[in-house]
Structure 1
Amino acid sequence: MKYAKLNVGQLVHHKLFGYRGVIYDVDAEFMLTDAWYEQMAKSRPPKDEPWYRVLVDGSDFETYVAQCNLEPDGRQEPIQHPDIKRVFTAFTGDRYLSGQPN
């Protein structure tokens, strides 16, 4: 098993498709069905590395992405997504915070 290099609340950029997003969940390895993998994971990324659930900037989509296809996003700009306030409590300028507000 490989270790997650990215964290919940971190801004990311998809290397292949170019979109920005924010990670809201991490799986230690691929956790969806083989049918989903065959249909959606066209580049056939490894199943035994971390996979991330990402809210996509500027849309109402979320994605499930292998670690090898993501990199940290250097732009310190918030993500525009309708579920941001449901998942996160604050934006610090470079990441989102989750948990209960004080």
Structure 2
Amino acid sequence: MKFGAAKFAIGQVVRHRVYPFRGVIFDVDPEFNNTEEWWQSIPEEVRPRKDQPFYHLLAENAETQYVAYVSEQNLLPDTTGNPVRHPRIDEMFERDNDGSYRARSNHAH
């Protein structure tokens, strides 16, 4: 994969390929930028490569909302069109008429 060629964009709604959660992307790292302990805590059979974009999501599952850090290989576009329930969405994004999210101009990434 070409360094820095992120497949997904800030404001895009995505879902995890394996686990049942989805979210809105609010930041992108061109490659892994978290702690070694965090990376090692992922079960080896699903542990992602470090040399790919990683995305910061305002995420939700059936029970709760939280911030997630997910590798590109584990994300898929979310095509449900359903709004994301995360409490920080309105602070960071505006929702367009077509249901997409656009970063608020007053929010610095």
Structures share fold, TM-score greater than 0.5: yes
Q: Could you tell me how far apart the structure 2 residues matched to 1:94 and 1:4 are? A: 22
1:80 match: secondary structure? coil
The more displaced of 64-73 and 16-25 is: 16-25
1:79-98 equivalence runs, <5 A: 79-88=84-93, 90-92=94-96, 93-98=98-103
User: What SS is found at the alignment partner of 1:71?
Assistant: strand
1:55 to 37, 48, 58: 58
The CA RMSD over aligned residues, in Å, is 1.5
Residue 78 of structure 1 is matched in structure 2 by 83
Corresponding pairs, count: 99
1:1-102 to 2 correspondences below 5 Å: 1=3, 3-39=5-41, 41-42=42-43, 43-57=46-60, 59-88=64-93, 90-92=94-96, 93-100=98-105
TM-score by length of 1: 0.88
* 1:25 counterpart SS class: strand
Listed as ranges, the gaps of 5+ residues in structure 2 are none
1:86 offset after TM fit, Å?
A: 1.6
Give 3-state SS (helix, strand or coil) of 1:78's partner: coil
Which AA in structure 2 matches 1:48? D
Helix, strand or coil: the match of 1:85? helix
Deviations 1:1-35 (A, max 9, x none): 25100000001010100212111110000000111
Q: Is the 8 A contact 1:4 1:28 kept in 2?
A: yes
